[in-house]
Structure 1
Amino acid sequence: MSQALNTNAFIAGSWRRGAGGVFPVYDPASGAEIAQVADCTPDDVSAAVDAASEAFNTWRLKGPKERAAILLKIRDGLNNNKETIATILTKENGKPKGEAMGEVGFAASFFEWFAEEGRRQYGETVPSPAASKRMITVRQPVGVAALITPWNFPIGMIGRKVAAALAAGCTCVVKPAEDTPLTALAFAKVCEEAGVPAGVVNVVPCSRSRVQAVGAALCDSPKVQALSFTGSTIVGKWLYQRCGSTIKKLSLELGGDAPFIVFSSANIGKAVEGAMAAKFRNTGQTCVAANRIFVHESVHDEFVKQFAEAIDKELKSGHGLENGVNHGPIINQRQFERLVKMTDESIAAGAKVVRGGKPGGGLFYPPTLLTGVSGDMPVAKEEIFGPVAPILKFREEDEVVRIANTSDMGLAGYFYTNDIAQAWRVAEALEVGMVGVNEPMVSTCEIPFGGVKHSGLGKEGSLHGLDDYTNIKYICFGV
């Protein structure tokens, strides 16, 4: 793949200018403009949906093995161009180059997984209640899938969605986040070079001012049969309502408010190591980031001491392309100001600053550790989405589980304990879709990723990842 940036939309197998002109993309670490990207309108979306709809007529008829061969070529294209794509990702997202490289590999893993899983879309033979009938089920692709992806994992979430859709036999229209369209367009180039047929994968970037109109066009199109979105709960609710008139299949991976609990029996060193990963990966800008950190009163002081030391020792801020940097900027000014406001209000309400707490230059916010946090402070009530770690002290297991479950979110939860009975009790009691017990890194292509309550609908990855892109058809034979 060429080092040159692809800045045009990718529709029906060709690179096109957006009907709305262009919009700028910036490097959040330096503030410099990186490129001017095609600004797509609902008319462009309509063209992309039409192309996907036409391509579906032939793509759906390809055998699972033939589709798998193309998915594996996409996997190879991602792995072979990992350095180039990671550099683009770091420039427009700000995450450290090492994390970006890992994300490209993460995206590639889904194409390998679903290349294999697509060949196992088994139907069923249903025992008939009547001797004169034979009953079976088959799985069939739903049609065109609209895939709306976030800025915090701009290639990882594309991989997780596109791989499942293509393996199921669907075609797709990808609408990337306005902050990170260049990574999505680099992915489109990989698809083109892998021989993906024209119209099977389409990418339509747009500016923030056109996000709602483009999203509405995808929701309102009767040719779009499935919509998958990763992003905020407020936007997810809007999409959910908007899709009602066309009765689409919906998968929504929305906000998180993950509790991270350290019980008295925990290995404190391991708990600190886990908290560092769960809190500060991608500068805290992940939906599964540890949001509220609950620490038992008997180990509170030791945990805070070791956590502060780890922050000092392990985190280095700077541009993600610089050697040794593992802590980047906040994605944009809007998110930065939101983070500053909630942190300042919590400090004013009595939270004590152990580390950080003061904005750096530009969009950089330092790794921040707060103690003395109460449940009514903003950092304990809202999804932080930044490098601020609030510590809340607790005494009893029942108490902390109850408080952890007060959130209307339910994506991920983490806890550390060496009590096996407690591990089972708490893992089953937490109202979340995914639990890490003595482990902060829970996401891989093999597992069903998704939440409960206001954190969304459906599962991505695993054998269940095909469910949102397929219909089960029942066929009854008279004999």
Structure 2
Amino acid sequence: MAASRVSWAFDSPSNRGTRESSSTVGRIAFGTGHILPGAGPRDQSRDRAPSRTIVPVGEQATTKVVSSLISGRPAPDAPGGTLIVPNPARLDEVVAEARLGDATTFVDACRAAREAQPAWARTPAPVRGRAIQQLGRLVEDNAETLARILTREIGKPIAEARGSVKEVVDTCNFFVSEGRRLYGMTVPSELPDKQLFTFRNPVGVAAIVTAGNFPVAVPSWYLVPALLCGNAVVWKPAEYAPSTSEALAQLFLHAGFPEGVFHLVLADGPTTFEGLSQALGDGLVDKVGFTGSTEVGRRIGELCGRHLQSPCLELGGKNPLVVMPDADLDLAVEGALFSGFGTAGQRCTSLGTVIVHERIHHDFLGRFTRAVERAPIGDPFADVLYGPMMSARFCDRFLGWLDRVQPHHRLSGSTGTGRITRANPREGFVGDPEAGLYCHPTVVDGVTMDDDLYKQETFGPIVGVATFSTFDEAMGLANGHGYGLSSSIYTRDPLNVFRFREAISAGMVSVNNSTSGAEAHLPFGGNGRSGNGSRQSGVWVLDQFTRWQAMNWDYSGRLQKAQMDVAEVPADPSFRLAE
């Protein structure tokens, strides 16, 4: 994948403009700019997507009401307001009504987790693994329902939604056995009658904040290993995917974990930051995991640093795909198409810029453009490359990036740019473009290192194309923006592969494959603007949710001093061999 991330801002003006304050308990229409009765004044500054009435009487019965789950029990009120979440593929259909918590909700969840965690840590790790096993089976048995909830709420094509759910199962399957392999070591001592040991101990309470573009797969990367290692968790998912998050939370709550070790908090960004600040200040949180934007990741890092904690940060990406002159061009086009436009480009691992050798640039661009033009786009329950943007907030943000197109750029890939509508149609569109938040795919040729489209993550269906003449020039383009999450090279030459691997700054490298696509047993994470070097998945994530403890046991019956009481081994350094 995975992963993926959205630009989730604690203090984003667009967040503030689409929610009520905690002092005014009304209802808001998330992602449309519509505030329902009782919510207060309306901010029209972000209404770039067309307005709709999103709570028709006939749809009320299908709307799922969800709230925070503290120790397994729904929160009784909504101090943070109530969020109305529409289906981005059918804006007249309401998916969820989310009753949001406030900073106190978050702190209360952390306090409950603190109280429950010691008993869970004393539970033998293989027994904790049994709960992970049961969770995996529950997810597997509910896979189709969970996938359909996900598609309806964020518009991810159903095939990708099923893949995301499968990734949760894969993660559980991997960590079941890690419950029997939380190994320490027996280390020889330099002193007699003395043994040295190492142990993995849980960190305590983990606060996990995740984005909504992968609302089940990415949370499982944190939650499953954290719980297996004996921690209690407080999970704050993206507020725009509350129905999917609540569904996954219910599966956790029915998997056998004891009361108090798993909590779900639904809240917006600024509220979460306030609650996290208080919880850290009160000593209730020992580890923070965050998947989101680089800007918010910096703030999380600063906050945790003040408490001498190192968070696990999985942030944005501007992922390069280098096409060497010896590449299989059809394969490279196929990889670029999925990398750049799968999930409507709303992944942290989405392709940012294709970097093509000048000798094959024209040929590649022609093939790539034709592939993008022919790709089916539309109804996410159909067989399409991608569906709608996740919400009007992300749609508006993407349309803003199109304003960064410069005169030296050449556009291709569709019959228009921006929103797909009847007035601005996409040839071959699947379904009704007016029903949802659909955008044209855009290929931007002529991208240079001076362009904003090169420097910044764009998070939407737009791919830049740049040209290089030497390998060093290609690597300069691949690394120059400062992100370091995912990367790809298409070539038949092993020398190119290993030179690329050595020179690229990304934490993940694909060879003749897309920039997106994680497996549960490989480390996932980035460097630079993409993260702080922490890794998720596989055995590597265990270092995020455990602390190493060293123990020495001296049974000699006397005080032995390391370095000072070590036996000498006499030697004859003057010895020489005779010829």
TM-score, reference length from structure 1: 0.95
**Greater helix content:** 1
CA distance in 1: counterparts of 2:63 and 2:178, whole angstroms: 34
- Equivalent residue for 2:413? 355
| Superposition RMSD in Å | 1.7
Shift of residue 4, structure 1, vs aligned partner: 8.3
Counterpart AA for 1:204: V
Asked if the contact 2:369–2:413 (Cα under 8 Å) also holds between the matched residues in 1, the reply is: yes
- Equivalent residue for 2:247? 186
- Equivalent residue for 1:344? 403
- Equivalent residue for 2:441? 367
CA distance in 1: counterparts of 2:296 and 2:365, whole angstroms: 36
Structure exhibiting the larger radius of gyration computed from Cα positions: 2
Aligned residue among 520, 538, 545 for 1:469: 545
Asked if the contact 1:134–1:476 (Cα under 8 Å) also holds between the matched residues in 2, the reply is: yes
Pairing 1:39-438 to 2, within 5 Å after superposition:
39-208=100-269, 210-313=271-374, 315-321=375-381, 323-346=382-405, 348-356=406-414, 357-361=417-421, 363-438=437-512
1:83-132, Cα deviation, whole Å (9 max, x unpaired)? 11112111221111111111011112111111212321111122212224
CA distance in 1: counterparts of 2:439 and 2:272, whole angstroms: 27
Q: Please, which runs of 5 or more residues in structure 2 have no aligned partner?
A: 1-61, 422-435, 556-579
The reply on whether 1:29 has 2:104 as its aligned counterpart is no
Shift of residue 212, structure 1, vs aligned partner: 3.3
CA distance in 1: counterparts of 2:115 and 2:198, whole angstroms: 26
- Equivalent residue for 1:451? 526
Counterpart AA for 2:403: D
Asked if the contact 2:207–2:235 (Cα under 8 Å) also holds between the matched residues in 1, the reply is: yes
Asked if the contact 1:225–1:249 (Cα under 8 Å) also holds between the matched residues in 2, the reply is: no
Counterpart AA for 1:22: T
1:180-221, Cα deviation, whole Å (9 max, x unpaired)? 122111111112222221111100011356343244345444
Identity of aligned residues (%): 32
Counterpart AA for 1:245: R
CA distance in 1: counterparts of 2:453 and 2:437, whole angstroms: 19
Asked if the contact 2:201–2:229 (Cα under 8 Å) also holds between the matched residues in 1, the reply is: yes
3-state SS in 2 of match to 1:130: coil
Asked if the contact 2:113–2:232 (Cα under 8 Å) also holds between the matched residues in 1, the reply is: yes
CA distance in 2: counterparts of 1:194 and 1:164, whole angstroms: 15
Shift of residue 147, structure 1, vs aligned partner: 0.5
Q: Which moved more, 1:329-338 or 1:301-310?
A: 329-338
Shift of residue 478, structure 1, vs aligned partner: 1.2
3-state SS in 2 of match to 1:229: strand
CA distance in 1: counterparts of 2:152 and 2:541, whole angstroms: 30
Shift of residue 283, structure 1, vs aligned partner: 0.8
Asked if the contact 1:42–1:214 (Cα under 8 Å) also holds between the matched residues in 2, the reply is: yes
Shift of residue 6, structure 1, vs aligned partner: 5.7
CA distance in 2: counterparts of 1:173 and 1:101, whole angstroms: 25
CA distance in 2: counterparts of 1:217 and 1:186, whole angstroms: 28
1:205-263, Cα deviation, whole Å (9 max, x unpaired)? 11356343244345444121011000101001101111123223410001111111000
Asked if the contact 1:374–1:380 (Cα under 8 Å) also holds between the matched residues in 2, the reply is: yes
3-state SS in 2 of match to 1:435: strand
Q: Which moved more, 1:182-191 or 1:25-34?
A: 25-34
- Equivalent residue for 2:428? none
Q: Which moved more, 1:102-111 or 1:246-255?
A: 246-255
Q: Which moved more, 1:141-150 or 1:75-84?
A: 75-84
Rate the CA distance shift 1:478–1:161 in 2: closer, same or farther, 3 A. same
3-state SS in 2 of match to 1:288: coil
The reply on whether 1:478 has 2:576 as its aligned counterpart is no
CA distance in 2: counterparts of 1:174 and 1:311, whole angstroms: 37
Counterpart AA for 1:86: A
1:431-454, Cα deviation, whole Å (9 max, x unpaired)? 110100111144111100011112
Counterpart AA for 1:398: D
Shift of residue 170, structure 1, vs aligned partner: 0.7
Q: Which moved more, 1:10-19 or 1:80-89?
A: 10-19
3-state SS in 2 of match to 1:119: coil
Asked if the contact 1:296–1:395 (Cα under 8 Å) also holds between the matched residues in 2, the reply is: yes
Asked if the contact 2:95–2:243 (Cα under 8 Å) also holds between the matched residues in 1, the reply is: no
3-state SS in 2 of match to 1:31: strand
Counterpart AA for 2:332: A
3-state SS in 1 of match to 2:83: strand
Q: Which moved more, 1:366-375 or 1:429-438?
A: 366-375
3-state SS in 1 of match to 2:333: helix
Rate the CA distance shift 1:5–1:432 in 2: closer, same or farther, 3 A. same
Shift of residue 21, structure 1, vs aligned partner: 4.0
Shift of residue 52, structure 1, vs aligned partner: 1.1
